[in-house]
């Protein structure tokens, strides 16, 4: 199922003599059968992983390679290798960038250990097989065949059987037998040296029967030398890359710890900011409520001012009407004064006529006595009319004086009413402006309250996100520490591998 994933690629390789060729490739079918440099591919894989580790923004992502030998009960599979390539997408967490090269190195070292272990067992078993059968031949016993699970000894077994045949045929020839015994002794020394890890030895290949055994032995030593040489190179490459990985992991571990610390501080700051925003939101709500109350008060004040303006206008109109009526009253009192003056003038003339009538009655004597009484009464009435007219004139003068004062007061009141009306109009205009400002303030306060409420939600999300980031940063720091421990174990493993292959001496 995974091999159907485009992130996975596989090759099956076969080692043939000193070359490697591709048997199966699920990417490019047209390269099947071509030569393939296995060690170079392993070296390139390690370098590519290290490069990607140092350049984490690589757009192509990170490639991992794993190599392992294929083994079954057939001889044909003894030189087969499986190579798996895995393309890790760039979007995966950067921690895998650390773990990838470690996993790669561990796979390589385990593969090398497995191969060395298998080949070392084959070497030891091969040496024991050769030594045992030569001892049997010296004792006159036959060659013992290898077990079915050790089919790789078939070629050596064939050479031993040929040697057995030669020894059997040379029983009658002591010289030939001594020669073969000497060659066998020398071969045993070489086999013993090879068993001790000296792969610089080489058996002398002769034209006789023992030469086939020496040739098979030399071929086995050559294959093992190539294997040990490859293992040394792989161990050195892993050790070199592990140093870089350890350095990068150390830097990333320190960076992750610093990031976790900084993120935690930022999280605390964000919490404080969220609390401040919450307090601001509460204050904004209270300000919005106060603005609403102020608007209600201003609305009521506006209604009162409107009524006041209307009342002031009514007062002004009433004062003006009163002024007009008083002015009319003044004019009428003036007319009454004129009439009173006219009455006084008539009374004065009547008094004069009565006086003249009395004089004439006196002249008439006894005949004019009755007329004299009438004239006296007329004169008295005229005097009384004149006195009443004077009193009326005085009263009218007093009324006119009062009317003048009233007119002055009314005119002053009218001016004050006009000024008061103007002030009330100005107050109404100012109150309308205040109402507009209160409306704007109320709207702004409501908007601020809504905005701070949204900010509170966002700040809560920010705090939650930062807490999540802080947790991830802590996990990354912990994982980086674990990766460092894994890298240290990998370094220890590569050192052990170097020590394991150091005992082998190889021909240059």
Write out pLDDT tens, residues 137-146.
666 667 777 7
| Nearest alpha-carbon partner for 458 in 281, 238, 307, 255 | 281
What is the pLDDT, as a whole number, of residue 56? 41
Q: How confident is the model over 232-242, as a mean pLDDT?
A: 70
What is the pLDDT, as a whole number, of residue 344? 78
Encode pLDDT of 246-284 as tens digits: 676 677 767 767 777 777 777 776 677 777 777 777 777
Mean pLDDT for the chain?
69
For 39-48, 213-222, 307-316, 374-383, which range has the lowest pLDDT when averaged over its residues? 39-48
In contact, 320 and 354? CB cutoff 8 Å: no
- The C-alpha atoms of residue 66 and residue 192 are separated, in whole angstroms, by 35
In contact, 298 and 354? CB cutoff 8 Å: no
Describe the crossing of helices 209-364 and 38-54 by its angle, rounded to 10 degrees. 20
Model confidence at 500: pLDDT above 50? yes
| Nearest alpha-carbon partner for 147 in 114, 125, 166 | 125
In contact, 124 and 196? CB cutoff 8 Å: no
Ordered by where they begin, the domains of the chain are 2-93 (3.30.450)
User: Starting at the edge strand that comes first in sequence, how are the strands of the sheet with 19-25 ordered?
Assistant: 19-25, 8-16, 80-88, 62-70
| Nearest alpha-carbon partner for 224 in 63, 346, 116, 103 | 116
Which uninterrupted H or E stretch holds 438? helix 369-502
Please give the span between the terminal C-alpha atoms of the chain, in angstroms, as a whole number. 46
Encode pLDDT of 65-91 as tens digits: 555 555 444 444 456 655 656 554 443
Encode pLDDT of 351-386 as tens digits: 787 778 778 778 777 777 777 777 788 878 878 877
| Nearest alpha-carbon partner for 111 in 44, 195, 38 | 38
Model confidence at 115: pLDDT above 60? no
What is the pLDDT, as a whole number, of residue 149? 52
What is the pLDDT, as a whole number, of residue 59? 46
- Rounded to 10 degrees, what is the CA torsion of 126, 130, 132, 137? 160
**Polymer length in residues for the chain:** 508
| Nearest alpha-carbon partner for 292 in 153, 449, 154 | 449
Q: Which residues pair with 9 in a beta bridge?
A: 85
């Amino acid at each position: 199922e995974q091999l159907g994933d485009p992130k996975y690629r596989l090759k099956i390789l076969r080692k043939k003599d000193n070359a490697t060729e591709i048997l199966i490739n699920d990417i490019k079918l047209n390269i099947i059968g071509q030569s393939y440099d296995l060690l170079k591919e392993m070296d390139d894989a390690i370098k590519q992983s290290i490069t990607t580790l140092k350049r984490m923004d690589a757009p192509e992502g990170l490639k991992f390679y794993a190599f392992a030998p294929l083994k079954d009960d057939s001889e044909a599979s003894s030189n087969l290798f499986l190579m798996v390539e895995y393309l890790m997408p760039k979007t995966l967490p950067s921690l895998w960038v650390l773990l990838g090269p470690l996993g790669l190195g561990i796979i390589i070292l385990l593969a090398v250990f497995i191969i060395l272990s298998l080949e070392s067992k084959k070497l030891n078993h091969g040496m024991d097989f050769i030594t045992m059968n030569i001892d049997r031949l010296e004792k006159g016993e036959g060659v013992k065949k290898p077990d079915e699970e050790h089919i790789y000894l078939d070629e050596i077994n064939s050479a031993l059987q040929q040697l057995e045949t030669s020894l059997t045929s040379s029983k009658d020839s002591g010289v030939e037998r001594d020669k073969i015994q000497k060659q066998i002794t020398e071969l045993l020394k070489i086999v013993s040296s090879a068993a001790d890890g000296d792969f610089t030895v080489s058996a002398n290949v002769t034209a006789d029967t023992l030469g086939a055994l020496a040739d098979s032995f030399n071929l086995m030593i050559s294959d093992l030398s190539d294997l040990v040489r490859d293992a040394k190179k792989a161990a050195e490459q892993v050790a070199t890359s592990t140093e870089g990985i350890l350095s990068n992991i150390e830097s990333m571990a320190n960076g992750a710890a610093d990031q976790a610390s900084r993120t935690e501080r930022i999280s605390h700051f964000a919490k404080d900011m969220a609390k401040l925003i919450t307090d601001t939101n509460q204050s904004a709500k209270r300000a919005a409520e106060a603005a609403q109350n102020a608007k209600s008060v201003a609305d009521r004040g506006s209604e009162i001012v409107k009524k006041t303006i209307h009342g002031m206008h009514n007062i002004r109109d009433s004062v003006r009407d009163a002024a007009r009526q008083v002015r009319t009253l003044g004019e009428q009192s003036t007319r009454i004064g004129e009439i009173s003056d006219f009455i006084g003038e008539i009374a004065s003339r009547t008094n004069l006529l009565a006086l003249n009538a009395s004089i004439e009655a006196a002249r008439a004597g006894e005949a004019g006595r009755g007329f004299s009484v009438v004239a006296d009464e007329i004169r008295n009435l005229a005097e009384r009319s004149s006195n009443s007219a004077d009193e009326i004139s005085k009263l009218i003068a007093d009324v006119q004086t009062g009317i003048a004062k009233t007119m002055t007061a009314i005119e002053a009141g009218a001016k004050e009413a006009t000024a008061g009306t103007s002030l009330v109009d100005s107050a109404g205009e100012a109150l309308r402006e205040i109402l507009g400002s209160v409306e704007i303030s109320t709207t702004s306060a409501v908007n601020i309250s809504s905005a701070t409420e949204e900010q509170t939600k966002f700040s809560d999300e920010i705090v939650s996100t930062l807490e999540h980031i802080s947790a991830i940063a802590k996990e990354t720091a912990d994982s980086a520490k674990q990766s460092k421990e894994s890298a240290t174990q990998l370094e220890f493993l590569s050192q052990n591998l170097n020590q394991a292959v150091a005992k082998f001496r190889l021909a240059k």
